[in-house]
């Protein structure tokens, strides 16, 4: 793999440089890609440069949780770098030919900063930075959501990146086609009847659509594990593979879910502004309500739920035997009663607080 | 409660994970041996689980009978040892039999009922969209069953500490 990395870097940096790769090793980098870390020593004439790198590689297709394109991810990251101040790591390039890296892969700058964001919460080592980091995280998200879609995605690669028939000509069209996608795939991903909560969510959300909001570029996996921080600022928002055109409230809803599952407290910050949603509303003027966040917490869970359930289904059907997919069943269990509460299940004591019941 | 994957599926998954994702990366022989021992113990648990409740119930009932039978055989002997045996026969030997669980495919029946509820939800949605408000009450009836079962499932399987491997 060292040779493949060197050649990809040479294409990005210029053919007249010498490149040595050191310290290549796998790292735990999320659940969807095989992630490696290494350092490139680049010599160009008398100039020497050390480039910390991340390699994101597609796992085998049957294991893959999200079937996404490294080419699209590269294009989006470079577009964000060119047109916004959203902190993202430079993408040096991608290789789709599986003969080169063993599967499709991309090479990115390894961002400076701490990725162990759990240290910002629960008496962690960096809890004193939480207020400023979360303030910046909210500002970064707002900039992303307010960015001009035509500028960030001129070729329309984010309109239907999963290729499942999503239409983005209007908010209603987006929502209706997304529900069509959820419901049409449900029967292919239900490995146990306990998944009935997802079906209930799809059907209920379809019956109870909230007010429209302008569509945006959404991160698509905005969660406590997908940013790095340093000196009270977000140094990088990472893992853009599920980014797409969608409702900006989806990112707020998904962060709410993952905050619960990750035992973190992103949504409580910045406390001086009354929490994440309050500050988001102050910056955007969109007046996103708690009921809308609840709605999109379910909607976002449904969106990630489809590919995750599908991958677990393939594991149980014996198409592969990777352990992580069994662990996902356990680790996502706390989300099920939370979803039921948001749907206003009798006995869950929160039916009056959600816009999605019945 | 989930019936798929089964407890046996999860244990088998651990054995596979040790083979595929742990053992190839262990570099000392002591660790490798421990991993193989873990596989062996997990396999033991897989073999014990389906029969454990049946075996201990059957053996419980057999042991009480043995205590009674032995007491009956030595009951005419004088002496401390025979007295102690008689006392055991009269106390522990007199404990009532426990029911032996039947080998029934309850999980299979549970699964079929779960899917029946799922199809009921689809039909209720159709009725709700046609304006039958009574379907809202019917949906609440389904949800009233589901919520406590979801809570029990989550409480039973969850382990504190957040998602491993993420930030």
Whole-number pLDDT of residue A356: 55
Tell if the CB–CB gap between B125 and A203 is shorter than 8 Å. Answer: yes
Tell if the CB–CB gap between B144 and A347 is shorter than 8 Å. Answer: yes
Whole-number pLDDT of residue A353: 41
CA dihedral for B44, B165, A261, A324, sign (positive or negative): negative
Would you place residue A275 in the very low, low, confident or very high pLDDT band (cuts 50, 70, 90)? very high
Would you place residue B162 in the very low, low, confident or very high pLDDT band (cuts 50, 70, 90)? low
Higher pLDDT, A335 or B70: B70
Task: Say if residues A161 and A68 touch (Cβ distance below 8 Å).
Answer: yes
Chain A residues with CB-CB distance to B128 below 8 A: 207, 358
Chain A residues with CB-CB distance to B153 below 8 A: 194, 333, 336
Of the listed ranges A167-171, A307-311, B140-144, the one predicted with least confidence: A307-311
Minimal C-alpha gap between A31 and chain B (Å): 8
Phi, psi of A235 (to 5 degrees): -90, -20
Which of B42, B145, B163 best tests the A interface by mutation, with the highest count of A CBs <10 A?
A: B163
Instruction: Give the residue among A339, A341, A337, A343 at the shortest CA–CA distance from A355.
Output: A343
Whole-number pLDDT of residue A358: 60
Tell if the CB–CB gap between A323 and B14 is shorter than 8 Å. Answer: yes
pLDDT at B161 over 90: no
Whole-number pLDDT of residue A31: 64
A326's CB contacts (< 8 A; 6+ apart) are A312, A315, B5, B9, B10, B13
Average pLDDT over residues B113-139: 96
Tell if the CB–CB gap between B166 and A262 is shorter than 8 Å. Answer: yes
Average pLDDT over residues A113-128: 92
pLDDT at A351 over 60: no
Whole-number pLDDT of residue B18: 96
Share the mean pLDDT of chain A: 91
pLDDT at A268 over 90: yes
Tell if the CB–CB gap between B125 and A316 is shorter than 8 Å. Answer: no
Is A207 within 8 Å of chain B by CB?
A: yes
Rounded to the nearest 10 degrees, what angle do helices A335-342 and A249-262 cross at?
Answer: 140
Would you place residue A189 in the very low, low, confident or very high pLDDT band (cuts 50, 70, 90)? confident
Whole-number pLDDT of residue A350: 55
Average pLDDT over residues B46-73: 96
Is A193 within 8 Å of chain B by CB?
A: yes
Give the pLDDT confidence of A135-144 residue by residue, as tens digits.
999 999 999 9
Minimal C-alpha gap between B132 and chain A (Å): 12
pLDDT at A354 over 60: no
Whole-number pLDDT of residue A296: 94
Of the listed ranges A186-200, A203-217, B5-19, the one predicted with least confidence: A186-200
Query: Distance between CA B30 and CA A118 in Å, rounded?
Result: 33
Tell if the CB–CB gap between A326 and B146 is shorter than 8 Å. Answer: no
Would you place residue A304 in the very low, low, confident or very high pLDDT band (cuts 50, 70, 90)? confident
Strand partners, A39: A22, A52
Would you place residue A273 in the very low, low, confident or very high pLDDT band (cuts 50, 70, 90)? very high
Phi, psi of B8 (to 5 degrees): -65, -40
pLDDT at A179 over 60: yes
Neighbours of A277 (CB within 10 A): 20
Which of A263, A316, A323 is the closest to B16 by Cβ?
A323
Whole-number pLDDT of residue A322: 87
Minimal C-alpha gap between A323 and chain B (Å): 6
Q: Establish, for the pair of chains A and B, how many residue pairs have beta carbons separated by less than 8 Å.
A: 133
A130's CB contacts (< 8 A; 6+ apart) are A120, A121, A265, A269
Tell if the CB–CB gap between B143 and A345 is shorter than 8 Å. Answer: yes
pLDDT at A133 over 50: yes
Minimal C-alpha gap between B56 and chain A (Å): 30
Instruction: Give the residue among A110, A102, A105 at the shortest CA–CA distance from A73.
Output: A105
Give the pLDDT confidence of A58-105 residue by residue, as tens digits.
888 778 888 888 999 999 999 999 999 999 999 999 999 999 998 899
Q: What percent of chain A has pLDDT over 70?
A: 96
Helices (H), chain B: 7-17, 29-74, 80-90, 106-129, 134-157
Instruction: Give the residue among A328, A245, A253 at the shortest CA–CA distance from A63.
Output: A328
DSSP state, A32?
S
A56's CB contacts (< 8 A; 6+ apart) are A29, A33, A34, A35, A70, A73, A105, A106, A108, A241
Give the pLDDT confidence of A224-248 residue by residue, as tens digits.
999 999 999 999 999 999 999 999 9
Query: Distance between CA A297 and CA A354 in Å, rounded?
Result: 11
Is A122 within 8 Å of chain B by CB?
A: no
Tell if the CB–CB gap between A118 and B162 is shorter than 8 Å. Answer: yes
Which of A31, A190, A326 is the closest to B165 by Cβ?
A31
Chain A, residues 281-300, CB within 8 A of chain B, namely: none
Tell if the CB–CB gap between B129 and A321 is shorter than 8 Å. Answer: no
Would you place residue A357 in the very low, low, confident or very high pLDDT band (cuts 50, 70, 90)? low
Cα-Cα end-to-end distance for chain A: 53
Chain A residues with CB-CB distance to B13 below 8 A: 321, 323, 326
Query: Distance between CA B35 and CA B23 in Å, rounded?
Result: 7
Average pLDDT over residues A210-218: 97
pLDDT at A208 over 70: yes
Tell if the CB–CB gap between B122 and A348 is shorter than 8 Å. Answer: no
pLDDT at A9 over 60: yes
Question: Which pTM value belongs to this model?
Answer: 0.82
Strand partners, A42: A19, A49
Instruction: Give the residue among A281, A269, A257 at the shortest CA–CA distance from A232.
Output: A269
pLDDT at B108 over 70: yes
Q: What percent of chain A has pLDDT over 90?
A: 65
DSSP string, A144-172: HHHS-HHHH-TT-TTSSTT-S----SSHH
Tell if the CB–CB gap between B125 and A207 is shorter than 8 Å. Answer: yes
Minimal C-alpha gap between A328 and chain B (Å): 9
Q: Which helix (H) or strand (E) holds A94?
A: strand A91-95
């Amino acid at each position: 793999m060292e040779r493949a990395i060197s050649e990809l870097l040479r294409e990005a940096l210029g053919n007249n440089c010498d490149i040595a790769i050191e310290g290549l090793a796998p790292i735990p980098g999320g659940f969807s890609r095989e992630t490696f870390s290494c350092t490139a020593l680049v010599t160009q004439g008398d100039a020497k440069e050390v480039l910390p790198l991340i390699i994101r590689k597609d796992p085998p297709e049957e294991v893959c949780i999200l079937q996404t394109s490294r080419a699209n991810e590269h294009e989006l990251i470079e577009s964000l770098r060119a047109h916004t101040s959203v902190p993202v790591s430079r993408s040096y390039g991608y290789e789709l030919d599986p003969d080169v890296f063993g599967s499709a892969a991309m090479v990115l700058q390894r961002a400076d900063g701490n990725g162990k964001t759990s240290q910002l919460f629960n008496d962690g080592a960096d809890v004193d930075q939480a207020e400023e980091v979360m303030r910046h995280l909210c500002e970064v998200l707002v900039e992303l959501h307010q960015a001009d879609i035509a500028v960030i995605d001129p070729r329309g690669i984010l309109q239907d990146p999963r290729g499942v028939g999503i239409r983005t000509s209007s908010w209603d069209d987006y929502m209706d086609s997304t529900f069509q996608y959820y419901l049409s795939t449900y029967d292919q991903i239900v490995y146990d009847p306990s998944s009935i909560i997802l079906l209930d969510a799809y059907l209920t959300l379809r019956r109870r659509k909230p007010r429209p909001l302008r569509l945006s570029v959404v991160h698509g996996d905005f969660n406590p594990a997908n940013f790095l921080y340093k000196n009270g600022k977000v140094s990088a928002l990472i893992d853009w593979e599920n980014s797409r055109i969608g409702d900006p409230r989806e990112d707020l809803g998904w962060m709410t879910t993952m905050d619960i599952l990750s035992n973190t407290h992103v949504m409580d910050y910045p406390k001086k502004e009354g929490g994440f949603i309050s500050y988001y509303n102050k910056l955007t003027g969109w007046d996103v309500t708690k009921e809308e966040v609840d709605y999109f917490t379910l909607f976002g869970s449904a969106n990630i739920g489809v590919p995750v359930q599908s991958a677990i289904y393939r594991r149980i059907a014996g198409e592969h035997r990777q352990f992580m997919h069994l662990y996902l069943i356990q680790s996502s269990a706390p989300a099920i009663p939370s979803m039921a509460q948001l749907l206003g299940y009798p006995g869950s004591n929160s039916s009056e607080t959600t816009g999605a019941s019945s | 409660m989930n019936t798929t994957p089964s407890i046996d599926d999860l244990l088998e998954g651990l054995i596979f994970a040790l083979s595929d994702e742990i053992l190839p990366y262990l570099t000392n022989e002591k660790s490798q041996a421990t991993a193989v021992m873990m596989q062996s113990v997990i396999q033991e648990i897989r073999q014990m689980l389906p029969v454990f409740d049946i075996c201990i119930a059957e053996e419980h009932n057999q042991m009480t009978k043995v205590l009674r039978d032995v007491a009956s055989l030595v009951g005419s002997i004088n002496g401390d040892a025979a007295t102690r045996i008689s006392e055991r026969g009269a106390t522990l030997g007199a404990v009532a039999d426990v029911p032996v669980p039947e080998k029934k495919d309850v999980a299979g029946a549970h699964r079929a009922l779960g899917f029946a509820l799922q199809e009921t939800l689809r039909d209720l949605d159709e009725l709700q969209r046609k304006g039958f408000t009574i379907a809202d009450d019917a949906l609440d009836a389904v949800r009233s069953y589901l919520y406590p079962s979801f809570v029990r499932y989550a409480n039973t399987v969850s382990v504190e500490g957040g998602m491993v491997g993420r930030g």
